[in-house]
Amino acid sequence: MVQTVGGLEVRAKEELFINLEPLQRGGIMPAEARKAALSYIDGYSTCDYCVGTLHLIKKPPIANFLEEVAGFLGMDFAILTNGCREAKFAVVHAITKPGDAIVVDANRHYTSYVAAERVGLAIYEVESTGYPYFQIKPEGYAKAIEKVKAETGRLPSLVLLTHVDWIYGNLVDAEKVGKICEEYGVPFLLNTAYSSGRMPINGRGLKADFVTCSGHKSWAAGAGTVGILAIRKEWAEKVIKSSKEYKVKPIEILGCSARGSSTIALIVSFPFIKERVKHWDEEVKKARWFSSQMEALGDIKQLGDKPHNHDLIRFDTPAFDRIAQKHRRRGYFLYEELLGRKIAGIKAGKTKAFDLSTYQLTNEQLKYIIDSFKDIIEKYS
Amino acid sequence: MREKIVEKTFDALFALEDLREILRKTAPFDLTKEQVEEARKVLAKVRKALDEIEREMR
């Protein structure tokens, strides 16, 4: 019988399965954060001692936390947003106007594009190198900026780089892109949804004017959604400007953003985040080992950066697709076989290619996953 | 009385989160002897909190 709560199936994915879903691995909360989120679960729980705006609240210590986060990211100021997408939109909306141009990478998250669309920008794209590496080369940004100049007679109003993309887990040399932006005098937004919180980030060192972060994706902060927008002080007046009527309310985040347990989760997870980014090299090592073991199974090819530099890994998997062609459950067989081995997170129906994350899994768990894939191949060969 | 019951309710809930953490870190394998021992310590905390709640309600 399925256990339910309030008529919904109880979600015990992390307790019963190894979860490989790249969207979820970096957002798994440590016990202390779950405890804190539980006690702050009610609406507006952060606002018992409201001082007019969320980012200035001292109890719970949101203001102090944001100061510390700004330093942690090598930036001057940080404010909370409802997510990374809202952080990106806040910047795009604050510093561009309809008809301006923006340069984005081809591996961008859709929300980067939509944020630009919402403001009415002309979107110029930096192409990837295509199959099988799909890399974004920093010099592509110089070409794209030149293209904007040639076609519009003006520089783009903003450059956006997806530091690590959501499809291939490619890590782009952000510092090189930052230098290009500096040379042209174009503001640089670094989307770190898949990097900050997992690996060390120094926004100033990377020459970023804005760093956007996802709490629920990479900072072990669930309990809702939450993001961080970190900025350099030169932009504070423009991006964190307040309403004329409501003096303490920053316009771009509509005054206050994540007003509840997700913010609490972010604060309580922070010591855990500061510690875990120190071990990023170990995560990369595990990801590379896993990738090599997958390819050794035969007829499986890792896409993206090689050697890989991130826990999010995408594979072309003809080995599984061949089985799917003959299996009565077709593409669903792999999902079901894995579920039977208590492995979740590979999307149902995917056998041609799939992505997964090895983030914070133990060597024992990773070996078990490899053995399970091997078992499945052997079972049907 | 109420303060004590509330405090012990949270103690029990928090201890159960510690138990959940053991399960999360070890999925999908059976618990080792050390992990079972750790889980027992957590259960003792939960029981202690529940006993104190019961005592308060007498």
Mean pLDDT score, A1-15: 94
> Using one digit for the tens of pLDDT, what is the confidence trace for A269-288?
999 999 999 999 999 999 99
Predicted confidence band of residue A299 (pLDDT cuts 50, 70, 90):
very high
DSSP string, B4-37: HHHHHHHHHHHHHHHHHHHHHHHTTSPPPHHHHH
Kind and range of the H or E element at A70?
Answer: helix A62-72
Asked if A301 and A270 sit in the same domain, the reply is no
Question: Residue B10 is nearest to which of A31, A34, A39, comparing CB atoms?
Answer: A39
> Using one digit for the tens of pLDDT, what is the confidence trace for A332-360?
999 999 999 999 999 999 999 999 999 99
- The closest alpha carbon to A17, from B30, B24, B21, B16, belongs to B24
User: Alpha-carbon distance A258 to A114, whole Å?
Assistant: 21
Asked if A68 and A179 sit in the same domain, the reply is yes
Asked if A250 and A231 sit in the same domain, the reply is yes
Asked if A195 and A219 sit in the same domain, the reply is yes
- Which chain B residues contact residue A362 at CB under 8 A? 25
- Residue A7 makes CB contacts below 8 A (sequence gap 6+) with none
Copy the structure tokens of residue A111.
Answer: 């929300």
Looking at residue A226, what is its pLDDT? Answer: 97
Asked if A208 and A91 sit in the same domain, the reply is yes
Question: Residue B13 is nearest to which of A38, A362, A368, comparing CB atoms?
Answer: A38
Which residue, A211, A245, A276, sits at the end of a domain? Answer: A276
DSSP letter assigned to residue A54: G
Looking at residue A381, what is its pLDDT? Answer: 87
Residues 19-58 of B with CB under 8 A from A: 20-21, 23-25, 27-29
> Using one digit for the tens of pLDDT, what is the confidence trace for A138-149?
999 999 999 999
Residues 29-48 of A with CB under 8 A from B: 30-31, 34-35, 38-39
* Average pLDDT value over all residues in chain A: 97
Mean pLDDT score, A184-200: 98
Asked if A109 and A250 sit in the same domain, the reply is yes
Asked if A203 and A302 sit in the same domain, the reply is no
Domain count, chain A: 2
Q: What is the CATH number of the domain that holds A103?
A: 3.40.640.10
Tell me the nearest-neighbour CA distance from B37 into chain A, angstroms: 18
Asked if A133 and A225 sit in the same domain, the reply is yes
Asked if A134 and A64 sit in the same domain, the reply is yes
Q: What is the CATH number of the domain that holds A302?
A: 3.90.1150.10
Asked if the model's pLDDT at residue B30 lies above 80, the reply is yes
Asked if A10 and A73 sit in the same domain, the reply is no
Which residue, A261, A276, A291, sits at the end of a domain? Answer: A276
Mean pLDDT score, A91-98: 98
| Long-range interactions of A108-117: CB distance < 8 A, separation 24+ | A108/A160, A108/A162, A108/A165, A108/A191, A109/A85, A109/A162, A109/A165, A109/A166, A109/A191, A109/A193, A111/A84, A111/A85, A112/A88, A112/A160, A112/A162, A112/A191, A114/A85, A115/A85, A115/A88, A115/A89, A116/A92, A116/A160
Question: Residue B21 is nearest to which of A31, A39, A343, comparing CB atoms?
Answer: A31
Domain that holds residue A291: 4-26+279-380
Looking at residue A251, what is its pLDDT? Answer: 96
Asked if A353 and A230 sit in the same domain, the reply is no
Asked if A103 and A172 sit in the same domain, the reply is yes
User: Secondary structure of A347-368 in the HEC alphabet?
Assistant: CCCCCCEEEEECCCCCHHHHHH
Which residue, A224, A258, A276, sits at the end of a domain? Answer: A276
Tell me if B21 and A30 make a contact (CB, 8 A cut-off): yes
Looking at residue A1, what is its pLDDT? Answer: 74
Predicted confidence band of residue A98 (pLDDT cuts 50, 70, 90):
very high
Q: What is the dihedral of CA A288, A293, A299, A304, to 10 degrees?
A: -10
